[in-house]
Structure 1
Amino acid sequence: MNEPLRILIADDHPLFRKGLRALLATMPQTEVAGEATNGVEAVRLAGELRPDLILLDLHMPGGDGLTAIRRLATVAPQTHILVVTMFDDDDSVFAALRAGARGYTLKDTDDDEMIRAITAVGHGEAIFSPSIAGRIIAFFAQRPSQPATPFPSLTPSEHNVLQLLARGLPNETIAGRLNLSHKTVRNYVSAIFSKLHVASRAEAIVRAREAGIE
């Protein structure tokens, strides 16, 4: 007999958590391992409980879902993440996928679709609710093809600096992270500005994030 799918629910709304528990109670091969009310708690419990799947809201007070997804990649890499949220805008969808979520569905999804998503993502598949899948298809259909590596004119060292720059880190911190001198970092930043055709750090950060670097 297969082991039950152990699930952690992370949502700040008690009534929604109650609804998810009721739905999971109809799925004999699942069990609720625990509940979290914010992202920080979700990361802590995932490290302690080692669930197979987390049902995670993106926007919670006291620790947001996106930060939690990024941290979970280190704390509980074996745990799959299904985002269950009210937000279906492109920024939320693609930020969650880049951070490491395997599925994305909306809170008003009907029970059959939610059960299918929970089962699929819990067993390592990627799945999206129909409305989200439609947005993903539309998004890529209207974008020109992108090179495999963003900004191919940058050197590997410049890419490393740009990645830290995109996180909002100052030059001194970047120098420490990469074990470089402050002058070297300034030179890399200047080269990045020139190659990206931007005039400020803010513009460089926007360009980097648009390309999926963060």
Structure 2
Amino acid sequence: MGIKLLIVDDHTVVRKGLIFFLETMDQFEVVGDAENGDEAIKLVGKLKPDVVLMDVMMPVMDGIEATEHIVAQFPNVKVLVLSSFSEQDHVIPALKAGASGYQLKDIEPEQLAETIQAVYQGEHKLHDKVTKFVLTRIAQPQSEDERRVASLTKREIDVLQEIATGKSNKEIGISLAITEKTVKTHISNIFQKIDVQDRTQAALFAIKNKVVQF
């Protein structure tokens, strides 16, 4: 049995298109769909999906309010926002509501599948446009973050900068002329020092604290 999905979007064509695509993949099982946030909350309680693909702008109840209710009532359910909007007014509230990811509808289908799996496994995933747009507007780092940055070695800073550009371990190794095993060691140390759980969080930390700038 695959990852159980609930699709929430008020546009029938979008909703049905997502269902058609995701049902062609063995790792997913679409257990239901909804056209507004209120309906989504009821279906989550009934169908117990693993991941909810949530639109933002919908009638009756929007995706942000629905996400807040779902995360509060069903903490084991992950919410991945899938929206046309990358503006701060939509992204920040969605993340504050507890969404585990925020992707734009122009994402490639294969990337969407990878994102769903990552969110299911506990990672936080943001579309590149969203990451850059949101985090370059976040306030100056707190003193605790400054301490964490200061704890990094020069080589760890180099690796963190490469992570923030989206490079794989292999690509980082080639870029910095070090082995892939060494890259993994640096990444493990970086995650511990800056208190993050995955590459996306590390990239967000790097951008927020101006370790790397776009």
**TM-score with structure 1 setting the length:** 0.64
Task: Tell me, yes or no, if structure 1 residue 145 matches structure 2 residue 141.
Answer: yes
1:14 corresponds to 2:9: no
Rounded to whole Å, the distance in 2 between the matches of 1:94 and 1:147 is 22
Runs of 4+ in 1 over 4 A off after TM superposition: none
Equivalent residues in 2 for 1:59-208 (5 A)? 59-140=57-138, 143-146=139-142
Q: CA deviation at 1:77?
A: 1.4
SS of the aligned residue for 2:140 comes to coil
Tell me, what secondary structure is at the counterpart of 2:107? coil
In the alignment, what sits opposite 1:41?
39
Q: Secondary structure at the match of 1:101?
A: coil
Count the aligned residue pairs: 144
In the other structure, the counterpart of 2:21 is 23
Q: Name the SS of the counterpart of 2:7 in structure 1.
A: strand
- Is the CA contact (8 Å cut-off) linking 1:38 and 1:60 kept in structure 2? yes
- Over the aligned positions, Cα root-mean-square deviation in angstroms equals 1.5
Letter in 2 for 1:144: Q
Task: Give the equivalent residue in structure 2 for 1:167.
Answer: none
CA distance in structure 1 between the partners assigned to 2:35 and 2:141 by the alignment: 39
- State TM-score, norm by structure 2: 0.64
Q: Is the 8 Å Cα contact of residues 113 and 129 (structure 1) preserved in structure 2?
A: no
How much does 1:74 deviate? 2.6
What's the secondary structure of 1:94's corresponding residue?
A: helix
* Contact 2:71–2:78, Cα closer than 8 Å, also in 1: no
What is the alpha-carbon distance in structure 2 between the residues aligned to residue 96 and residue 36 of structure 1?
18
Q: Deviations over 1:144-190 (max 9, x none)?
A: 23478xxxxxxxxxxxxxxxxxxxxxxxxxxxxxxxxxxxxxxxxxx
In structure 1, the partner of 2:190 is none
Relative to structure 1, the CA distance from residue 22 to residue 146 in structure 2 (aligned partners, 3 Å threshold; closer, same or farther) is same
Q: Which runs of 5+ in 1 are unaligned?
A: 149-214
3-state SS of paired residue (1:47): helix
- Structure 2 distance, partners of 1:147, 1:39, is 38
Asked if 1 retains the 8 angstrom alpha-carbon contact of 2:8 and 2:55, the reply is yes
Q: Is the 8 A contact 1:43 1:75 kept in 2?
A: no
Q: Distance in 2 between matches of 1:146 and 1:23?
A: 43
CA positional deviation for 1:75: 2.2
Distance 1:37 1:114, change over 3 A: same
Percent of aligned pairs with the same amino acid: 38
Distance in 2, Cα, partners of 1:87 & 1:20: 18
Q: Taking CA–CA contacts closer than 8 Å with sequence separation of 6 or more, which of the two structures ends up with the larger relative contact order? A: 2
> Quick one: which amino acid aligns to residue 90 of structure 2?
S
Max radius of gyration: which structure? Answer: 1
Task: Report how far residue 18 of structure 1 moved.
Answer: 1.3
Residue type of the alignment partner of 2:43: L
Q: Provide the residue aligned with 1:50 in structure 2.
A: 48
Moved more, 131-140 or 12-21: 131-140
Q: Which runs of 5+ in 2 are unaligned?
A: 145-214
